Amino acid sequence: MIEPLDPTKYHVLSPAGKKRLIFVSLFFIFIVLPFLLRTYYRVAINRPSQSGKEVSVEIMKGDGVADTARNLLEKGAINSDFLFNIYVYTGKFGNKIQAGTYKIPAGSNLKQVVEIIQHGTNDVQLTFLEGWRTEEFARLAANNLDNIDFQEFISLAKDKEGFLFPDTYSINKDIQEKDLLEIFTSTFDEKTKDVLTEDNLTRAGLSRQQVIIFASMLEREIHTEEDRPVVAGIIIKRWREDMKLDVDATTQYVAAWQDICGIPERCIPLLEEVENFDWWPTILTQDDLELDSPYNTRKNLGLPPAPISNPGEKAIKAVLNAQESPYYFYLTDQEGVVHYASTLEQHNSNVARYIQ
């Protein structure tokens, strides 16, 4: 005969006790443990290697991430191949690691090692300027990188105008078009993550796309930092009051297509046709001003359908911090000085005085 348990001899959890135990266990599993793991991970990837000396590491062409991790661990360049694999995969650095022989300085941490092995002897340093359009990015890349096709780059980047971050890059000469685009767009995301925040967009009363469109125009129109917030305020005010923006840079954007392809819309010419082509014609004809294109803000109300250039961080910040003023018009004289006007009459007077 089985005797019932004597509760005086054994500790039996009450229903309330069971609930507390379950709550504490879940709290530890889903809150405490992940926090401890994240903390350990952050410390581990920033901890210097324990070799205490400079090491030389050769990464062979065709080596995978796991091969590279084992190689670095054997040489003493990193403390853990497991952490290396996690960091590389979560950071999407796998396709950026380059073959070559590297000197890893003593005391380098895992993050520094990954940065070093992304830049081999096959790198070339290129500077892509603020305000360049996609075709200008493509021209510089195609002329300096072995596997970049001018037309293919433009085709892949057709929806990315405005989001190719202008900067100086160290780039593998063997890089492919899609990987180069990924570098430009991921750099944009990284550089603007603390700028294009929901709070900043809400405060400015603009969407992310609208900010980049305004910044792309501002980058081409104004080059003096003190004038940019004022001009940004003028352009935004004209847009909100249903006035034509009359931004010459938008007309230049379309006029370039008209000049090179004979049509006022996106086209993809051959590289040899545009080696010395000016993608921003400084002299606009009456025909240019009347080009039938949604990008032409001389002819149409509202914003262009997409950005017209790739702006830098300063132009983006100027839009987000647009300055209110009594002005509705502006122009830049030959010395680069910006002149403002509140009325069309005043603006015409400025045109006669500073431009004609």
Q: What is the pLDDT along the chain (356 residues), one digit of tens a residue?
A: 566 656 555 566 677 777 787 777 777 787 867 887 777 678 778 888 777 788 888 888 888 989 999 988 888 888 889 888 989 888 888 888 888 878 888 888 988 888 888 877 678 899 999 999 999 999 999 999 999 999 999 999 999 999 999 999 989 888 999 999 999 999 999 999 999 999 999 999 999 999 999 999 999 999 999 999 999 999 999 999 999 999 999 999 999 999 999 999 999 999 999 999 999 998 999 999 999 999 999 999 999 999 999 999 999 999 999 999 999 999 999 899 999 999 999 999 999 999 87
Prediction pTM value? 0.74
CA distance 298 to 295: 9
Q: Locate all alpha helices (DSSP H) within 223-340, ordered by sequence.
A: 228-240, 248-261, 286-289, 313-320
Residue 169 has phi, psi (to 5 degrees) of: -120, 145
Indicate the SS3 state at residue 213: helix
Q: Are 53 and 77 in contact (CB under 8 A)?
A: no
Tokens of 180: 């180069």
Neighbours of 81 (CB within 10 A): 18
Task: Give, for 104, the enclosing helix (H) or strand (E).
Answer: strand 100-104
CA distance 105 to 78: 11
Q: Domains, the chain, ranges and CATH?
A: 57-116 (3.30.1490.480), 123-192 (no CATH), 198-354 (no CATH)
- Strands 55-59, 100-104: pairing kind: antiparallel
Tokens of 264: 């006022």
Report the length, in residues, of the chain: 356
